[in-house]
Structure 1
């Protein structure tokens, strides 16, 4: 068994991005980080200039032509927003803006302001032209936010970039999105070991370890970005029907899938649905697997044939089927 690995890190997308390879490869690492930076520059809404921001600034005025990758991602995000009755909504930007969760100045907005913003978050009001690769937000004040899907898309692109560099084994960590390539040489059975963080732990304690080969692992949780006010927790996963953070039985949802983009989509969709409805969907889609951490300290493992879960935190109990 080989135990050595080579890790490259950079701060991008507001998080620490790490690439772990089994052999040193500065060229591959450089190409990976340059690709991430290029895509972040196109997709971000956290600075004034990007392709997505150019769409938002033209809301209610005119359509904006964007590059093929950005158009394709917006098209996929709109389909998911319209297809699933959940909290996945690419038009959620106006709500994110007034709550500011995870940013300076966060607060509970007035009910009147929330009601006003709800009029601006209907994904049906996004007009796409596939021939021109143009995007038009029909109402002034509308804003696209691809934060729920961008990391997954970027992780999948990085996998292709690494394959072009003849790198077929490694692990990409985009902070919440982990994508494993091939099998690991550090585990006798070839599994990569990925920690599942214990919600709200201040010292990065783990609930357990997920063991996978050639799979993506994406987690969405209410402990990632939140604030407390009057003993109430307000987190960053919004209910598009009410304009407030969703309140259900879940602390986090982890998706094990072939692509990281799928992981991004379903971790948000399933959080919105809750455990029962998500479990029924997963029974019909065995290629997807999920780990649900519940507020009552139980862990539900759905379709566990695609991974191995090693529980670490004794506070949690594995939910029996």
Structure 2
């Protein structure tokens, strides 16, 4: 579901399904598929585990029906199209509520009400050449979590717009949430060792079938050449990882580069040297959203934010461009032992 590009690869997926017939009779299952406008890959192992692809596909379709702006009949599309007070499911409530929290923590750097700006800059569901030239500043009055009201009671939850032109876009958080939901499904089946990846967002539980930490690769942030070359490999255990980058989704107009990363507080595309932000934390929904926010912040503001919010338990790997030295990186202290940069 994410419109942003996350460049992650994980290792040790050897086949769609196979068993390791050792003395413990451990079964290892690898699943691949398409969902939410991207691909997914899942690996899990255990004693006599079974293939849950049908159930997982069903879960992902439910989430799409709730929060995909590319599904005309989805809940979020109905809200954006002005359906009035709309009943929402538990998926929607969880993502909306966490979005409110992270928007407040980041002082609006993460804000899923940014959709009017996303569309105006040509990165949404509308074609860029079909948009009217509405001044960006005039769209800011439609942006902000306070433009929506979530009502909850024992039986149902609903959401309504307080401004008719306000719109929601969960692309910067819903894919991470989907990863968490699939992981929780596997945990409900007593599968404690697994890795779930959707569109580059990853969560790991336990260790892999060889008893080692899971290994996840972070792509080198280059627009075209060496696009499949890894910048780093991260070892994970019971952690989630998400990467947001601005180096492949952009367009040129009148000789100027416009990144798809939009600052919801100013209404303009960002113009700094941070190329990608990788976040490691406990849940993938939070990792996804904070990676989006940090791409708005830039390097210095992200580092300052982490120092001021150590209680959040967030680690980062930032890749940025230095005019004199080329690519440079920042690795937070808690990640240094788990991350190996590649030549």
TM-score (norm 2): 0.81
**What is the match of residue 18 of structure 1?**
41
**What is the match of residue 32 of structure 2?**
9
Corresponding residue to 1:94 among 106, 116, 122: 116
Corresponding residue to 1:291 among 310, 317, 323: 317
Extract unaligned runs of 5+ from structure 2: 1-11, 15-27
**What is the match of residue 73 of structure 1?**
95
Corresponding residue to 1:147 among 171, 184, 196: 171
Distance 1:76 1:143, change over 3 A: same
- Contact map agreement 1:184 1:213 (CA 8 A) in 2: no
Extract unaligned runs of 5+ from structure 1: 314-321
**What is the match of residue 120 of structure 1?**
142
**What is the match of residue 186 of structure 2?**
162
Corresponding residue to 2:340 among 304, 307, 310: 310
- Contact map agreement 2:13 2:30 (CA 8 A) in 1: no
Distance 1:248 1:308, change over 3 A: same
Report Cα offsets for 1:69-127 as digits up to 9, x if no partner: 31232122123223422431111111122333276733697763423322211222212
SS at match of 1:207: strand
Report Cα offsets for 1:27-80 as digits up to 9, x if no partner: 323222221121111111112111111222226xx3222123312321221232
SS at match of 1:295: strand
- Contact map agreement 2:102 2:290 (CA 8 A) in 1: no
Corresponding residue to 1:32 among 53, 56, 74: 56
Distance 1:235 1:148 in 2: 15
Distance 1:243 1:169, change over 3 A: same
Distance 1:156 1:231, change over 3 A: same
Q: CA RMSD in A?
A: 2.6
TM-score (norm 1): 0.86
